[in-house]
């Protein structure tokens, strides 16, 4: 069963695609965008945690 790590990041409305593309190139998948507590947009991201390879396995 996969395990995940999570990230939240603010989104600037004039640069949303560039921000999401940057995180996506690092393997992050957008889960949801919500309005933050101060009114801006916040992106919730996730990506699978890659298990460390054990030598000789």
Between the CA atoms of 48, 51, 26 and 8, what dihedral angle is there, to the nearest 10 degrees?
50
Q: What is the pLDDT of residue 1?
A: 83
| pLDDT tens figures, 15-44 | 999 999 999 999 999 999 999 998 999 999
* For residue 14, pLDDT beyond 60: yes
C-alpha 2/C-alpha 49 separation (Å) is 7
Number of domains in the chain: 1
- Report which secondary-structure segment, H or E, holds 18: helix 16-25
In a domain, 39, yes or no: yes
In a domain, 56, yes or no: no
Domain range enclosing 41: 4-48
* For residue 8, pLDDT beyond 70: yes
In a domain, 57, yes or no: no
């Amino acid at each position: 069963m996969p395990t995940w790590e999570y990230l939240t990041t603010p989104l600037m409305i004039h640069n949303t695609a560039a921000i999401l593309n940057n995180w996506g190139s690092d393997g992050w998948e957008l889960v949801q965008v919500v309005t933050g507590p101060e009114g801006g947009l916040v992106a919730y991201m996730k990506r699978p945690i890659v298990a460390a390879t054990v030598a000789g396995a």
